Amino acid sequence: MDLEEQGTIKRVVEGSERSRMVVLLGTPNKGSTTMIALTLTQGDPSYAGPLAGVPLGLPIHHILEPEVREAIPADVYAREIGPLEFVLDATGISAALKDVRAR
């Protein structure tokens, strides 16, 4: 997530009803999942962007998590997301989110 994207997200969150927001990630690996999830929950861990020190506290989910999969029609999920399950580290991504949520 670049600095411009952080600024856009900050403006959207500040100008909207935060309690109605949820973040759905499609990140490709554990590392990127951790960094983006931390940025959107606790603030930019690099302290470089507009979200430095700004804990948004947004709920974070990943498209590969079972509870997300269950909320999407099976045929749509199979067509749009299914192939990603073979190439992405779903276990690592889920572990990263579990770790961020526990902080």
Structure tokens at 103: 């902080």
- SS3 at position 61: strand
pLDDT of 16-63, one tens digit each? 998 999 999 999 999 999 999 999 999 999 999 999 999 999 999 999
Per-domain boundaries in the chain: 3-102
CB atoms closer than 10 angstroms to residue 38: 20
Global confidence as pTM: 0.88
φ/ψ region of 61 (left if φ > 0, alpha if ψ in -120 to 50, else beta) reads beta
pLDDT of 90-99, one tens digit each? 999 999 999 9
Rounded distance between C-alpha atoms, residue 59 and residue 73, angstroms:
22
pLDDT of 63-76, one tens digit each? 999 999 999 999 99
Q: Which long-range contacts (CB under 8 A, 24 or more apart) does 79-87 make?
A: 84/26
Check: CB of residue 61 under 8 Å from CB of residue 22.
yes
Check: CB of residue 39 under 8 Å from CB of residue 51.
yes
- SS3 at position 52: coil
Residues 6+ apart with CB under 8 A from 14: none
